Structures are given as structure tokens and as C-alpha cells.
Structure 1
Amino acid sequence: MSNIIAGVRIPDSAMAKAATQFVRDVEDDLLYNHSRRVFLWGALAGERRGLTYDAELLYIGAMFHDVGLTKTHSSPDLRFEVDGANAARDFLQAYDVPERDVEDVWTSIALHTTPGIPAHMRSTVALVTAGVEMDVLGIDFHAFSPEHRQQVCACHPREANFKEGIIEHFAEGIAHKPETTFGNVKADVLALKDPDGFRRQNFCSIILGSAWPISA
């Protein structure tokens, strides 16, 4: 595999290589290739936007962003994004990465399914989400050249039906803790995949049904 894809150099430090192996050991091909593409889209978006970013931190954020969907790193009660962020934090702390950088990677993973906020934060946070949004939702699809799209997908192919496949992975990773989907986009996943068993919580109903008296 080339270390340069679509003009983007894949980080190859000892830490980056260890991160690659870490993710390869727990994710299947669909999630692994998706995570690599997220890094590449994020890096290309950063270059297009003229952002200064740390490629190694962006790489760690991209590679770990879906680790929380795996059985190895899924907690019983935390959002999968937080599980992935915690795994990345533990990994980075073992390499004595400065705490601010660890926080940026943690936040980039924790917020990658929260649209509208990461774009206003530091580059690692903004670009992990940009990469995810391109690969999963096709946001800014036409801002990436056809050549870059072809080169990225030639090295890290999308599954024959990646759209359905990624939704299945989301559902499998969160089905055991549906309460963690409250207030975030993953509620849509369970509403699609478990229409008979899943009941979406309603923010206003929670307010009106709380233990607080009507007037206090």
C-alpha cells in the first residue's frame, strides 16, 4: 500500500503504525477502509480550506472514530463515540502525547456525529468530522475532484453496498444500549433497523414528565 494516496501522505511514525495495527485487529474491512478514507477526506478538506493541521493527530482521530462500535471496545452504557474516544485517549497517553493534543483527538471522536459544532473547533476536531461527513453522507462530495475520489477508493474500496453496510454496523454496535441514542443521529438507525422494538425518546416529553412540580 502506497504511503501517498491522492497526494496525501499517510503518517508512518511508530505511533501511527501501532494505531493502524490496533484498528486492524478489532475492525473488519468495511470499518477499516472507511476509517482510512475518513483520514484522507479530512486531509484533503483541510488542504482545500487552507487549515493547518497535525496529520498524525488527524490520523489517530480518523482511525479510532468507530472503534466504539466493536465488541472489544463497546461499553454497556456509553455512547459509542465516547467509547472510541476513550480508547484513543488510552492509546495516546501510552505514547506521552501532550494533553491538549489528546483532548483534541478525544473531542474529534466524541463529536463526529454531532453536526454543526466541530467545524468551529480546532482543526483535528473539524477535519475528522469533515472526513466522516464526506464518506458517510456525501457532504461536499463534488468539492473533491473525481481524480481524488477515484484514487482514494482504489486504495480503500467502498463495499459493494457500503451505504447499507455502514448502517448495519451502526445498528449492531448500539442495539444493546438504545438509550445512548437520545438526542443524536443514531436514533434514526434503530428506528430503521428495529421499528417494532425501538421507542424514540422525546426531549419535550422528558421535560414535561420530570419530577419537578408544575410551579416551584
Structure 2
Amino acid sequence: MRLEDQSPPETQAARAAQAIAASYHSPAMVNHVTRSWLWAEAFATIEGRTEIDHELLFVSAMLHDIGLVPAFDNVNLSYEEAGGHVAVALTAGAGWSEGRRRRALEVIVRHNWPSVDPAMDVEGHLLESATALDIAGARADALPTVYVSAVLDAYPRLDLAVEFGEDVSAQAARKPHTSAHRLVTQGVLGKLAGHPFEQAGT
């Protein structure tokens, strides 16, 4: 498992999703969504999951937090559902079928579930595992140390802990019926501050 061997899918949808993330997200959040994709692919490798829709996983990773951006924030929907609908619109323009567009929405919504059964949704499982690692430090020792260090060197965390914490707290306050409220009440701010990658100074 080497970072230099990984590259985004060379497709219209993947390029568009990456461009939207780069245009609307801060540097810290761009690095977060990129790491989330890399962690997801790494978990697929260590878990021996070969039947993966890599393009779907990449697009979903790039857009999973786009609903936090003011331009895509929704007055009522959770930020992950709002982001999922951005993915639906983007992939429609790229010619994806209705069913596959729906899968992008499902994967993005499920990344905020407490867990996702891989038998039901392997891409959702991988993205949930990846974001749980990057935000809460879950399974921080599961991936090879050399690989983790290479990813963090290439895509440092910057001020992710503060920025994501502020964004999700604002969502929780305005939309107490959504998963953002659950994340905050379950201590995501403390998990961000105490994240092993933050403590390592990366």
C-alpha cells in the first residue's frame, strides 16, 4: 500500500467532484475529503474488499461534506443529505444512471451513520470508516504507519479540528433534528481536539 500508487479515477464525474471540492472548501477541508478517499481505499485493501465502485467512492468522498458550505447549506436537510443531492446533480450531468446517482446520495448520507454493514453498502461502509478515522480517530492503528505518515505529510490536517468543529456545531444548533446534533452531543469536539493525528502534530 503506497500513496504514490493511488490516483483519482480519470472520469468526468471524478474530475468535476474534485473541482467542486477545491472551489468551495477551505484547504483544511480539501485535505480532509482527500484523506477520506485515501483512507477508504486503504480500508478496502486491508479488509480484502475487491468489488468496489471506485468512481462512486471517490465522488462520494469528495462531496461528503459539501453541504457544510454556505452555497450548498440547506435550511432543513442534514448537511450530508444536502451534499448527497449535490452529488446526484453532478453525476446526472456526467451521465450516470438514476440508480447509480441514488447510490451517491446513499453513500454520502450513510457516512454519518454510527456504522454501515458492508453487506448492505460496501462503499458506504468504507466512507463511514474513513471519516470516522479522520474526524474521531476510530481505528487509528488499523492502517500501516508508513502509509498514514505519507498521507498526512501530503495532506496535512491544518486547522481541521477547529473548522469542522465550528461548522458541525452550527449545523447542530440550527438543525437539532439532524445527525450533526448527535455528533456534537456524542463528543465530536473532544474527539477532534484529542485526535491522535492532531496530538502527533500532523
Query: What interval of TM-score do these two structures reach, taking the shorter chain for normalisation?
Result: 0.7 to 0.9
8 Å Cα contact 1:66/1:84 also seen in 2: yes
Using a 3 Å threshold, how does the CA distance of structure 1 residues 171 and 77 change in structure 2: closer, same or farther? same
1:29-80 CA distance string (max 9 Å, x none): 1111100000000000011111121211101110110011110001111111
8 Å Cα contact 2:64/2:80 also seen in 1: yes
**Aligned position for 2:194:** none
Q: Which runs of 5+ in 2 are unaligned?
A: 191-202
1:21 aligns with 2:19: yes
Mapped to 2, the partners of 1:32 and 1:174 lie a distance apart of 22
**Aligned position for 1:30:** 28
8 Å Cα contact 1:38/1:132 also seen in 2: yes
**Aligned position for 2:53:** 54
1:108-138 CA distance string (max 9 Å, x none): 1111111123544222111111110111112
- Corresponding letter in the other structure for 1:162: L
| 1:72-87 pair list within 5 angstroms | 72-87=71-86
Mapped to 2, the partners of 1:190 and 1:19 lie a distance apart of 26
- Corresponding letter in the other structure for 1:86: H
Provide the identity percentage: 22
Mapped to 1, the partners of 2:39 and 2:166 lie a distance apart of 22
Mapped to 2, the partners of 1:177 and 1:183 lie a distance apart of 7
- Corresponding letter in the other structure for 1:156: Y
| 1:105-124 pair list within 5 angstroms | 105-124=104-123
Aligned residue pair count: 188
| 1:1-216 pair list within 5 angstroms | 5=3, 7-51=5-49, 52-159=51-158, 161-181=159-179, 184-188=182-186
Q: Please identify, of 31-40 and 128-137, the stretch whose mean Cα deviation from structure 2 is larger.
A: 128-137
- Corresponding letter in the other structure for 2:47: R
8 Å Cα contact 1:68/1:83 also seen in 2: yes
Mapped to 2, the partners of 1:188 and 1:86 lie a distance apart of 26
Could you say what secondary structure the match of 1:141 adopts? coil
Mapped to 2, the partners of 1:112 and 1:67 lie a distance apart of 13
Mapped to 2, the partners of 1:8 and 1:123 lie a distance apart of 19
Using a 3 Å threshold, how does the CA distance of structure 1 residues 174 and 90 change in structure 2: closer, same or farther? farther
8 Å Cα contact 1:108/1:118 also seen in 2: no
Using a 3 Å threshold, how does the CA distance of structure 1 residues 109 and 186 change in structure 2: closer, same or farther? farther
Normalised to the residue count of structure 1, the TM-score between the two structures is: 0.78
Q: Please identify, of 163-172 and 63-72, the stretch whose mean Cα deviation from structure 2 is larger.
A: 163-172
Q: Which runs of 5+ in 1 are unaligned?
A: 193-216
CA RMSD between the two structures: 2.4
Question: Which protein is bigger by CA-based radius of gyration?
Answer: 1
Q: Please identify, of 135-144 and 120-129, the stretch whose mean Cα deviation from structure 2 is larger.
A: 120-129
